[in-house]
A and B are shown apart, each in its own frame.
Chain A
Amino acid sequence: MRVIDLIMDRAARLGGEPAIITQATTVSFRDLADAVERTTLAIERIVPTHGAIVVSSDPIDQIVGLLGAMATRRVLYLDPGRIGGANAEFGWSYRFCDGDVAPTGAEAHRWLDSIEGFALVLRTSGTTGEPKFVIHDDRSLAANLILTASVEDELHERGGLHPSAPTDSLQQLADRAPHGLRFLSGMPLSSIAGVSMLMRSIAMGEQFVVPSSLEAHDLWSSAIVLGVTNAGLPPISALRFAGFGRDRLRPRPGFLHVGIGGAFADPSLVAGLENSLECLVTVGYGSTELGGVAIMSRPWDPADERHGTIGRPLRGVEIELRGIEGDGGTELVVKSPSIARGIIQNDELVELDEWFPTGDLADQTESDALVIAGRSDFMILRGGHRIDPARIEAVIERHPLINRAGVTSRPSRIPGNMDIIAYVSLHRTMRSTEVPDEIVTEIRRRCIGELPTHEVPRRFVTVADIPLASDFSVNRAHLRDLVRRNPLADA
């Protein structure tokens, strides 16, 4: 059994029950299955076995196109709408748009020849800023579904699901009744987090809500209007939600559970969100290469563990903490059954090692929960301290007028040290992009009050937009380039 078989089996059983819900329409499981069957016929008629299909950024197209490619065992790329005319460059030879399949005129690339069957291609830049295409397939998507579903087994102390037995586990999932949950993803469908939540929803017979946009206000109102029970949010949206939730006069969603992931989540943010929304909040850790979440805090973990750690590996995931030379801390290395099949490099499909070095520094608590201490490649060295820029950003972004912050460094006049530079952007609702001096002073006071003195930025620089990666985390490579091009930050 494959994930697509599980979804189609759900559709046959649930018929007219809602599967996909938008503000404009509700797509039942029966409607979804019909659309997938039509798409399957169109793809089989037009796209050869090794054809690569690019899907528009329309969410319904993305969902139907993804399921159609799974059913027909073709290669699919979910276009985040950023690369425009790059179809030829990357060999996407067919387009799926408005339910129709058509050639793009581009030639398929060599790497496609090495792929048999279904493959999902995701573009990621992550924190390194280097764009790359990550390839997932039936195996990795099934493993991710089993990993996330196994949390419920842990709660009920059942031992049934395990990613090492995917066929049996998927069959077990098919026999489990849905809970009537509505899931909302604050991450795009073109990300592994978005795909993972979509699979988790419809494969389990739950409902998947498509928000009107991924802006925090729209996510919040979609969650209220469409009755969302479970949400997965990047930290920046979680921060906005915590602020909305503190306004007791504002209508609020009836969340049962919110998961935060995709970037560093400040412990005070997790606790604040839980208090303001009065629901359980957990933190997940994963990456595009790992096929989604691999480590997470559990809903039944004590509050301090849920707030201050990323929890423990999911069942079937193993971790190691490997020392980095010269007291550089320990890097988190993960072995997950949902690891990607490979990445595309120089027009070749390159398989990933079984153990994936995440590039994140981590420590383990006495209860074996993991704490992320920042990126190994973007730590700031100052006064003998290794400073994680994400922690400083989290403090700055708590200022109500600041939209995003990106923290980087430049060489200090004291050799061997770095000065901390904070780039900040105002909310778009502000008429100016220039941050007034008094706001900078407030932010500086906030940093002084909440951070050790050596972590207080030397300089605050206003920019219209902070460079972001596809998962909404700060694009640190781009930020570092900004400073390299202009060492005095704005002089």
Chain B
Amino acid sequence: MSIESAKDAGFDSFCLVISDYFELPRSIVTSSARLDDDLGLDSLAFLECIVMLEEAAGHELEVDAIATVRTVGELFDFYWQFVGSTIDPGTP
């Protein structure tokens, strides 16, 4: 599997996890969806998101770097950058 296709599959799993965890329809969890204005996630939900991703990654993430994240796609890129394709997001 190429890196691109692994990333695509990883993104699909990632969206599924976000959708399940925050009880959102899968159809609205898209790359361009804004975490606040489209999904209605507030700062607390975002914090929960980070905790969930840290649990999935098995180590702490750099919270300062995540502060600029606005969309699902950006959040996934951030996550992918730290965990790469070797880790399946799994379920929390």
Determine the chain B residues whose CB is within 8 A of the CB of A448 once the complex forms: 37-40
B22 at the interface (CB under 8 A from A): yes
Interface pick from A189-197, A318-326, A453-461, A476-484: A453-461
Interface pick from B4-12, B44-52, B68-76, B78-86: B44-52
Determine the chain A residues whose CB is within 8 A of the CB of B38 once the complex forms: 448
A 262-301 contacts with B by CB, 8 A: none
Determine the chain A residues whose CB is within 8 A of the CB of B51 once the complex forms: 413
Q: A453 contacts B48, CB within 8 Å?
A: no
Q: B40 contacts A382, CB within 8 Å?
A: no
B87 at the interface (CB under 8 A from A): no
Q: A413-B48, A414-B48 are in contact. Are A456 and B40 (CB under 8 A)?
A: yes
B42 at the interface (CB under 8 A from A): yes
What per-residue 1/0 map shows which CB atoms of B26-45 lie under 8 Å from chain A?
A: 01100000001111111111
Interface residues on A, range: 10 to 19
Interface pick from A91-99, A119-127, A437-445: A437-445
Q: A441 contacts B28, CB within 8 Å?
A: yes
The one of B23, B28, B40 that contacts A453, using a Cβ cutoff of 8 Å: B40
Q: B25 contacts A456, CB within 8 Å?
A: no
What per-residue 1/0 map shows which CB atoms of A352-395 lie under 8 Å from chain B?
A: 00000000000000000000000000000011000000000000
Chain B minimum-CB-distance residue to A454 = B42
What per-residue 1/0 map shows which CB atoms of A232-254 lie under 8 Å from chain B?
A: 00000000000000000000000
Number of inter-chain CB pairs below 8 Å: 41
Interface centre among A412, A417, A441, A458 (most CB of B within 10 A): A458
Determine the chain B residues whose CB is within 8 A of the CB of A456 once the complex forms: 40, 42
Cβ of B24 to closest chain A Cβ, rounded Å: 8
Determine the chain A residues whose CB is within 8 A of the CB of B37 once the complex forms: 448, 453
Q: A414-B48, A448-B37 are in contact. Are A454 and B25 (CB under 8 A)?
A: no
A447 at the interface (CB under 8 A from B): yes
A1 CA to B49 CA in the complex, in Å? Answer: 68
A17 CA to B82 CA in the complex, in Å? Answer: 83
A103 CA to B40 CA in the complex, in Å? Answer: 59
Cβ of A57 to closest chain B Cβ, rounded Å: 41
Interface centre among B28, B42, B48 (most CB of A within 10 A): B42
Cβ of A448 to closest chain B Cβ, rounded Å: 4
Q: A454 contacts B44, CB within 8 Å?
A: yes
Determine the chain A residues whose CB is within 8 A of the CB of B36 once the complex forms: 453
Chain B minimum-CB-distance residue to A452 = B42
Determine the chain B residues whose CB is within 8 A of the CB of A382 once the complex forms: 42, 44
Cβ of A360 to closest chain B Cβ, rounded Å: 26
The one of B25, B43, B45 that contacts A441, using a Cβ cutoff of 8 Å: B25
Determine the chain B residues whose CB is within 8 A of the CB of A447 once the complex forms: 40
Q: A414 contacts B44, CB within 8 Å?
A: yes
Q: A440-B25, A441-B28 are in contact. Are A453 and B41 (CB under 8 A)?
A: yes
Cβ of B30 to closest chain A Cβ, rounded Å: 13
What per-residue 1/0 map shows which CB atoms of A405-425 lie under 8 Å from chain B?
A: 000000011100100000000
A412 CA to B27 CA in the complex, in Å? Answer: 25
Q: B44 contacts A417, CB within 8 Å?
A: yes
What per-residue 1/0 map shows which CB atoms of B9-22 lie under 8 Å from chain A?
A: 00000000000001
The one of A414, A437, A444 that contacts B40, using a Cβ cutoff of 8 Å: A444
Q: A441-B25, A441-B28 are in contact. Are A453 and B42 (CB under 8 A)?
A: yes
Cβ of B26 to closest chain A Cβ, rounded Å: 10
A 457-489 contacts with B by CB, 8 A: 458-459
Determine the chain A residues whose CB is within 8 A of the CB of B45 once the complex forms: 458
A 157-212 contacts with B by CB, 8 A: none
Determine the chain B residues whose CB is within 8 A of the CB of A444 once the complex forms: 24, 40
Cβ of B50 to closest chain A Cβ, rounded Å: 11
Q: A413-B48, A444-B40, A448-B40 are in contact. Are A458 and B25 (CB under 8 A)?
A: no
Cβ of A434 to closest chain B Cβ, rounded Å: 15
Q: A458 contacts B23, CB within 8 Å?
A: yes
Cβ of B16 to closest chain A Cβ, rounded Å: 15
A144 CA to B44 CA in the complex, in Å? Answer: 47
The one of A383, A413, A441 that contacts B42, using a Cβ cutoff of 8 Å: A383
Determine the chain B residues whose CB is within 8 A of the CB of A459 once the complex forms: 23
Determine the chain A residues whose CB is within 8 A of the CB of B48 once the complex forms: 412-414
Q: List 5 A-B contacts (CB under 8 A).
A: A383-B42, A414-B44, A441-B28, A448-B40, A453-B40
- Please give 16 more A-B residue pairs, beta carbons under 8 A apart, in addition to A382-B44, A414-B47, A444-B40: A383-B44, A412-B48, A414-B44, A437-B25, A441-B25, A441-B27, A441-B28, A444-B24, A447-B40, A448-B38, A452-B42, A454-B42, A454-B44, A456-B42, A458-B23, A459-B23
Q: Which residue numbers of B lie inside 8 Å of A, CB to CB?
A: 22-25, 27-28, 36-45, 47-48, 51
- 10 A-B pairs closest in CB distance: A456-B40, A454-B42, A453-B42, A448-B40, A383-B44, A459-B23, A453-B36, A414-B44, A437-B25, A441-B25
